[in-house]
Structure 1
Amino acid sequence: MLDYLKHGRQSAFRYLFDIDLNAPEYPGKIILPLLDFYPIQEPDRIAITEGSVLVDNGRMELPVSSYSNTGNKAEILAEQPYVLTHWKEASRIINYRRFFAVNDLIAIRIERRKNFDIFHLKIKDLASRGLIHGLRVDHIDGLYDPLTYLRRLHKISGNIPIWVEKILARDETINGDWPVEGDTGYSARSRINSVFIDIDSLRAVRNLFRRNGGAKYEGEKYRIDLKIEISKKLFHSDLKKYSRLIQSRLKSAKLIGLSTDGILEALRATIACMDQYRTYSTPSMVDSIKWITAVDKATQYFPEISHELTGMKTFIHYASIDHRFNHVLRRIEQFTGSVMAKSMEDCFFYRYSALLSTCLVGSMPFEDTYSDAEIHSFFANIQLSGKRPIVTLSTHDTKFGEDAIARFNALSDMLPDWEALLTHFGETGIELYDIYRILQAILGTYDASDRDYKDRLRSYIIKALRESGENTSWEYPSTDYETKCLEFAENSVAEIEKNWKELLHKIQFLGGLNSLSQTVLKFMAPGIPDTYQGSESMNLSFVDPDNRKTVNFSALFKKLERLSSKNPKTKEENIVNGDLKLWLTSKLLSVRSRFSSHFAEGLYFPLKFTGKNADNIFGFFYKLEDSYVITLVSRHHHSIISGGSYTSECWNKIKVKGLPNLQGNITDLITGKIHSRMVLEDILKEYPFAVLEAS
């Protein structure tokens, strides 16, 4: 990049970067919105020598292409192949593709074979020596041609397994032509999370949010308008570039005449009406149905630009028959995911805070959770496919650690307690969704033993407020509103510590039980279990960067050695501090290793339950010849736990349906105990979960 900044179009590396040198603002130059000031206003913050442009005493150093020796900074800067400006100008004039809206991450044209070969030399070398056994491709939607890229990667790596970070819409599946094992865990996480959210409880929580004033955040039109707002705020220059390309193609084919501004409005509205991150056209196939559906929806919501939207339809039609149009559409496709991500994940998820465990990457908080039948179907299909997608409960992109999420799910079953807490705090002078988010965040992450907790909470709140973008933002922070929210959070922590201890302890205990059950599902579900750093034990982290802290693995090893000498009991202390989860993780890893054939070759079958509290248990089994590995987990614990402790009496009326007649003993693979019959009250006596072997 430095060579390009020095030599511009003469650089040997000019073909690496995705830069639009035909942009009208500064043709032939790359625009660098990397400063926190305007050079014309604060020239003293820039120093120029014959070899370098130095910003803020060397905090940033850029090469000098030519040096006129006039001493005039403005003239010397004007001679360079780049234009330095304030980062706030990015949306208006930036002329290179970037990682979402991160200005200092310039995109590579990796679809060019030469570029691909250069950037994958290390991977090819490591794979050829057998030093790597799998590859994870992040942000697959940012590629111009994902299929070709993955085929090349598969070939040069010696066909080792590949996983892609892909966020799928509810009715979307990974392209069957991609040579991949599956996604990196979002699909499985959303299903496992659904196990612990009762749909009726979720609807009641949403109704409370709606009654308290949250109705304005619901509805498709609100989300579409939000995407338009974000695309104007962050991606106006990107949309201008694509609009110029569309107009150029339409003109060259002597088709409908539209202004660049008109096409821009139509393109922005169409992208806002897409219901998934992107489509995947190829030179011979265009996903016309999804694009035309989006145009029709835009026409419904924005009839004032119907003429321009007709032009979009014309463009989409020609993209299926003319390679010049097709190329432009595919360039647009690699951009649409940025609009979806920044408007939904990084904005809407911070506004629609009815229940924070539904505001996670891979889910949509306005959708219903998956039913048990849908969850079982999903996992059964994975097992039949022979593919092995990642199964995880949290990643660097989830808004909270997995054990905080488990607490939020427990809260969803406790509507009267939640409503009482909201009523107690009453009017606060801040937005409803900020009240909801702050109180839930405290209940989900509170850790009395963490000396840094209040500072971590403050940092999270600042990020959440600015990402939501309604009363403050990264571009224009409102210290008054942020201070109100921080004061509310500080007062809330003190109030909850003092007067709501019973509720806090209940959520910690019930959330801990959820955590144990979801951990069992992560390891026992079809696919490859993945434990995010630090989640072997209790993980109550906030969003990035809080979830990237260094993990003290040495302390975890020592704790595990201590726990391995005896089975920890289901005491609240062991559940809340993560000891039981750490011990269980170790046990489940052993099960995966010992019964690897069942996971690789067995068939998946759901279990059904009848009798009182049947809805409080979820289970399935693998069958390999005459051998069975059975998984049972409890859920919705609020209705079955009394007195703050777990007993198995709640299972004494339940019958298990779906298992064949078992001929031998049943062995508990976690505790080692042997049972003669499938009696849940006995099998779940010690723990509210079980992994069993039977024949």
Structure 2
Amino acid sequence: MAEAGVPPVPGATYRLQFHKGFGFRDAAALAPYLARLGVSHVYASPYLAARPGSTHGYDIVDHGRLNPELGAETDFRAMVAAFRENGLGQVLDFVPNHMGVGGADNPWWLDVLEWGPDSAYAGWFDIDWQSDRRYLRGKVLIPFLGDQYGAVLQAGQLALRFDPEAGGFAIWAYGTHKLPICPLHYQRVLGDLHPDLERLGDTFSGLPHWRPRIAQHARELQSHLVGLARDREDVRDAVEAAVARLNGEPGKGETWRELDSLIQDQHWRAAHFRVAADDINYRRFFNINELAGLRMELPELFDRAHQLVFSLMQEGALDGLRIDHVDGLLDPKGYLLRLREQAPRPFYLVVEKILSRHEGLRDDWPVQGTTGYEFANLLLGLLVDPAGEPGFTRTYAEFTRRHQDFAHGVRDSKLRIMRSEMASELNTLAGEAAEVARQNPSTADFTHNILQQGLKEIVACFPVYRTYVDLLGAPTEDDRRDIDWAVAQARRNRADLDPSVFDFLHRLLTTDLVAQPRSGFSRHAVTRFAMRLQQYSGPVMAKGLEDTAFYRYNRFVALNEVGGHPDHFAVPIAAFHAANAERARRWPHAMLTTSTHDTKRGEDTRARLAVLSELPDEWARQVDHWSRILRARCGDVEGDAPPDRDDEYLFYQLLIGAWPMELTGIARLDPQAVGAFSERLQGAMVKSLREAKRHSTWATPNRAYEASTMSFVRAALDTAGGNAFFGQFLPFQKRVARLGVRNSLVQTVLKLTVPGMPDTYQGAELWDFNLVDPDNRRPVDYAVREHLLTEVTAALQADPGPTARAMMENWRDGRIKLAVTSALLAYRRAHPGLFANGSYEPLAAIGPKADHLCAFTRRHEGDALLVVAARFPAQHDANPTWEGTAIAWPSVADTGAGWVDLLSKKVVWRLAETFSPDALLSDLPVAVLVPNDAARS
């Protein structure tokens, strides 16, 4: 337990993805293995009640229950007990921004559909009940239909049903989505053909007289209907007949008129899913119709949503929370402060927050840090050779036959999102801005249209996901800087708009409109608009940048990662050190990650691709040869058939980056294994095509283009007969894979030694060559990992040096990564103060290969650690000597003191002011030195 008032900080976490195929019992069985691996906490994906069949848990339907698909309450308690018995705590991924809707599982949402604005939960969802679309006034759009409403109705796929257990009536779409009928209209269903149902229907029609107990009395009447239908066959038959009378005959439009009339009078409007782009009137998670935004700023909603997790904290089952999509909240800081204030005890708290290059996490947020996207990109950037950028840029332009500017592409992608998937939200915001403008004669002439155009351009130019203007005061300097930038760029891009509209919008977004008393504007309206605009800019950035531009700009896809910056090719050593030192000073307990459920490529896929940055010319030759072979094989000598050159270029990077280790360097390819990989690759390519939105989309897939592209992929990986492509591809792939292993080990060691709290994504203690989700959520073979950990531990204890060398020579099985991971996790556990609170001091290297070395030391109360890592394995492979290159000893290293490498057990003595990396890095590309006496602990 942590000291009173001090949040418990995990030493290291291990992410587990819970779903129907991996539940509480499975996690409990892993507890001994995870403890032996060396982590302190399980970092759990959401396991509160979610939509049935959820593979991720982010579509929560009830914050007060555990997900029954993961096991019973007893299974959960057994898992908690197993964790405790093995010294493991828990950090839970919590989702406050949105809930899963649709289906028939969310009681709050169903109540809203039943009672509309009068529902007790109507205010908990971010619904615009006063839409400027008259047909949506007092209604919520339900865009879940796969075809036009009339076609679905006449096909009999919108059918009225009676629930004999609840006594309610509802329309069921496709037998899946429950759309309740308001009890005020039950008389229209029950009719007058049975006297008891006629009397009951009349009583339902009188419900308005029971205000404010309308809903409660309706439940009483429904219970009465349940009893009647259960106990009397004539009533049961009459109810069935009443339902059948309203349900028409498929294909006969006139038979559905009465049901259509009933539907039109409900508090919901069922519509084709494409209608959402223009008419959606509830805030969503990004543009996902099935995830509805919550107003977590409401105290009563906050209390209800956190009741279960707070009780788990109180009993010691939870030590921390990871807050999903914190930028979706109206007031992130206010939410986090309330979390701290109302939680029953101190806890570890990190937020999923994507930071721009110039942006820092807010100092006044009461958190330990972010979930580590920025670190993953920082670390990858260190492995990328900056000298390769000109070659990669040239090759990409020549191969794709077009020149792309990434920043311009991001703006275009954001504008596209605002024209299509998120147009309705922008229209609503423009309406609110117009209402503010009309409050003052000096701005009353700004029309809805011109404000919408101005807002669209400003949001497209935002350099960050969002700003954080709140109810408490003026914007911070950071917020003002980013708003100033966005407005200035928007002015330049839309010189055709009256400049005064940007003056007004600038003062509106910064709340300067109400900075002085008697401004003529409503402070509430201005501040509310600024805060709602912030909620909009984040999703637009996410969909435009991560889910569109990242799939259109394929110059070097290792950089196209969540929180990444594809137009910035590499990270200098000095910048890497500066970022680590800053983290040690400001966020020493922030989460560090290299793979997550959201990363678009696995950590070792990216590390392998980084090797290509050292081989730009050879890469260009290889790609040209591969394309010639495969295009000729498909009969496309001109190279004009699908996939287009950009998609083809992406395919080659995914192919070499994710090529399985078991297919590397073998004499004969296993057709079954190649076929399995081909299926994975095709899945990733289809997702990439649809996210790019150039030739295909999720809403309107271009089946012909996709089929041609998949045919190209299958042809490339066809093992039947002679495939000239394999003859060209496999030798190069083997070389890149071997060098990529060295990058992977550097990446692993740095994550486990720099300031911060490291997380291991499920299965990534061995090689992680995953592609984008759902590929990265495939089942993990823990039996193999448990066996290898036992084997590796025993071998290292018996003969550490030769064992480490042997594992490096036989790198394909991943034991070397597992050994490094477990060794460093064990040392972290034995020296918690060093890693939680230790300083960070870069070490200078001198000589011809100085920039190939990344070295630093960490110190805390007499404890010390010295790390040396080698960059650029391809260059080192071509010139293995370190002659003339040396590293300065830190001041902590006493003259004559001995240091031992935790990984190879080599001993190094301080005999001069510097030491050579030559012998130290002869077997492994990284060394972790500790004082000789510390190595025994």
Please point out which of 228, 240, 248 is paired with 2:415. Answer: 228
Please point out which of 296, 311, 314 is paired with 2:488. Answer: 296
Q: Give the match for residue 758 of structure 2.
A: 529
1:665 aligned onto 2:901: no
What is the rounded CA distance, in whole Å, between the counterparts of 2:707 and 2:441 in structure 1? 57
Please point out which of 445, 450, 454 is paired with 1:262. Answer: 450
Question: Residue 303 of structure 1 aligns to a residue in which SS?
Answer: coil
Asked whether the 8 Å contact 2:856–2:868 carries over to 1, the reply is yes
Please point out which of 513, 518, 531 is paired with 1:318. Answer: 513
Q: Give the match for residue 460 of structure 2.
A: 272
1:369 aligned onto 2:605: no
What is the rounded CA distance, in whole Å, between the counterparts of 2:515 and 2:597 in structure 1? 38
How many residues align structurally? 689
What is the rounded CA distance, in whole Å, between the counterparts of 2:603 and 2:587 in structure 1? 27
Q: Give the match for residue 540 of structure 2.
A: 339
What is the rounded CA distance, in whole Å, between the counterparts of 1:53 and 1:216 in structure 2? 52
Asked whether the 8 Å contact 2:546–2:562 carries over to 1, the reply is yes
- Return closer, same or farther for 1:315/1:227 CA change in 2, 3 Å cut-off: same
Please point out which of 387, 397, 419 is paired with 1:200. Answer: 387
What letter is aligned with 2:898?
Answer: N
Q: Give the match for residue 821 of structure 2.
A: 585
Q: Give the match for residue 653 of structure 1.
A: 884
1:635 aligned onto 2:871: yes
What letter is aligned with 2:894?
Answer: L
1:55 aligned onto 2:176: no
- Return closer, same or farther for 1:693/1:362 CA change in 2, 3 Å cut-off: same
Please point out which of 907, 913, 917 is paired with 1:674. Answer: 907
Q: Give the match for residue 692 of structure 1.
A: 929
Indicate the larger mover: 195-204 or 659-668. 659-668
Question: Residue 83 of structure 1 aligns to a residue in which SS?
Answer: strand
What is the rounded CA distance, in whole Å, between the counterparts of 2:654 and 2:549 in structure 1? 17
Residue 573 (structure 1) shift: 6.5
Residue 549 (structure 1) shift: 1.6
Q: Give the match for residue 617 of structure 1.
A: 853
Please point out which of 36, 55, 60 is paired with 2:146. Answer: 36
Residue 625 (structure 1) shift: 4.8
What is the rounded CA distance, in whole Å, between the counterparts of 2:305 and 2:701 in structure 1? 39
What letter is aligned with 1:77?
Answer: I
Question: Residue 541 of structure 1 aligns to a residue in which SS?
Answer: coil
Gap regions ≥5 residues in structure 2: 1-108, 163-168, 190-244, 247-257, 517-522, 629-638, 664-669, 719-723, 796-802, 933-937
What is the rounded CA distance, in whole Å, between the counterparts of 2:659 and 2:151 in structure 1? 46
Residue 387 (structure 1) shift: 3.2
What is the rounded CA distance, in whole Å, between the counterparts of 1:368 and 1:285 in structure 2? 36
Deviations, residues 382-403 of structure 1 (Å, cap 9, x unaligned): 2223631111111111111111
Indicate the larger mover: 619-628 or 342-351. 619-628
Question: Residue 735 of structure 2 aligns to a residue in which SS?
Answer: helix
Asked whether the 8 Å contact 1:570–1:686 carries over to 2, the reply is no
Please point out which of 592, 609, 620 is paired with 1:408. Answer: 609
Please point out which of 294, 316, 321 is paired with 1:135. Answer: 321
Residue 496 (structure 1) shift: 4.2
Residue 205 (structure 1) shift: 1.0
What is the rounded CA distance, in whole Å, between the counterparts of 1:166 and 1:116 in structure 2? 20
Asked whether the 8 Å contact 2:141–2:268 carries over to 1, the reply is yes
1:456 aligned onto 2:661: no
Q: Give the match for residue 175 of structure 1.
A: 362
Indicate the larger mover: 657-666 or 155-164. 657-666
1:114 aligned onto 2:300: yes
What is the rounded CA distance, in whole Å, between the counterparts of 2:613 and 2:806 in structure 1? 22
Q: Give the match for residue 356 of structure 1.
A: 557
- Return closer, same or farther for 1:319/1:136 CA change in 2, 3 Å cut-off: farther
What letter is aligned with 2:416?
Answer: E
Q: Give the match for residue 658 of structure 2.
A: 445
What is the rounded CA distance, in whole Å, between the counterparts of 1:248 and 1:289 in structure 2? 26
- Return closer, same or farther for 1:29/1:572 CA change in 2, 3 Å cut-off: same
Q: Give the match for residue 479 of structure 1.
A: 703
Q: Give the match for residue 291 of structure 2.
A: 105
Q: Give the match for residue 431 of structure 1.
A: 644
Q: Give the match for residue 309 of structure 1.
A: 502
Asked whether the 8 Å contact 1:662–1:694 carries over to 2, the reply is no
1:18 aligned onto 2:126: yes
Question: Residue 384 of structure 1 aligns to a residue in which SS?
Answer: helix
What is the rounded CA distance, in whole Å, between the counterparts of 2:391 and 2:925 in structure 1? 26
Deviations, residues 103-161 of structure 1 (Å, cap 9, x unaligned): 01111110111111110111221222222111111111101001110001112222312
Residue 356 (structure 1) shift: 0.9
Q: Give the match for residue 104 of structure 2.
A: none
Q: Give the match for residue 34 of structure 2.
A: none
Question: Residue 32 of structure 1 aligns to a residue in which SS?
Answer: strand
Please point out which of 147, 155, 158 is paired with 1:46. Answer: 158
Question: Residue 305 of structure 1 aligns to a residue in which SS?
Answer: coil
What is the rounded CA distance, in whole Å, between the counterparts of 1:216 and 1:200 in structure 2? 20
- Return closer, same or farther for 1:656/1:288 CA change in 2, 3 Å cut-off: closer
Q: How does 1:478-627 map to 2 (within 5 A)?
A: 478-494=702-718, 495-566=724-795, 567-569=803-805, 574-627=810-863
Asked whether the 8 Å contact 1:408–1:444 carries over to 2, the reply is yes
Asked whether the 8 Å contact 1:607–1:620 carries over to 2, the reply is yes
Asked whether the 8 Å contact 2:843–2:857 carries over to 1, the reply is yes
- Return closer, same or farther for 1:320/1:73 CA change in 2, 3 Å cut-off: farther
Q: Between Structure 1 and Structure 2, whose CA radius of gyration is higher?
A: 2
Deviations, residues 573-592 of structure 1 (Å, cap 9, x unaligned): 63233221111111110121
RMSD: 2.0
Question: Residue 90 of structure 1 aligns to a residue in which SS?
Answer: helix
Residue 572 (structure 1) shift: 6.7
Deviations, residues 653-684 of structure 1 (Å, cap 9, x unaligned): 32112523533111111233323344422222
Q: Give the match for residue 6 of structure 2.
A: none
Deviations, residues 543-591 of structure 1 (Å, cap 9, x unaligned): 1111112222232111111222222436676323322111111111012
Q: Give the match for residue 397 of structure 2.
A: 210
Asked whether the 8 Å contact 2:808–2:924 carries over to 1, the reply is no
Residue 232 (structure 1) shift: 0.9
Asked whether the 8 Å contact 2:601–2:770 carries over to 1, the reply is yes
What is the rounded CA distance, in whole Å, between the counterparts of 1:572 and 1:436 in structure 2? 31
Residue 87 (structure 1) shift: 0.8
What letter is aligned with 1:691?
Answer: V
Please point out which of 271, 275, 294 is paired with 1:85. Answer: 271
What is the rounded CA distance, in whole Å, between the counterparts of 2:401 and 2:286 in structure 1? 29
What is the rounded CA distance, in whole Å, between the counterparts of 1:564 and 1:496 in structure 2? 41
What letter is aligned with 1:624?
Answer: H
Residue 601 (structure 1) shift: 3.1
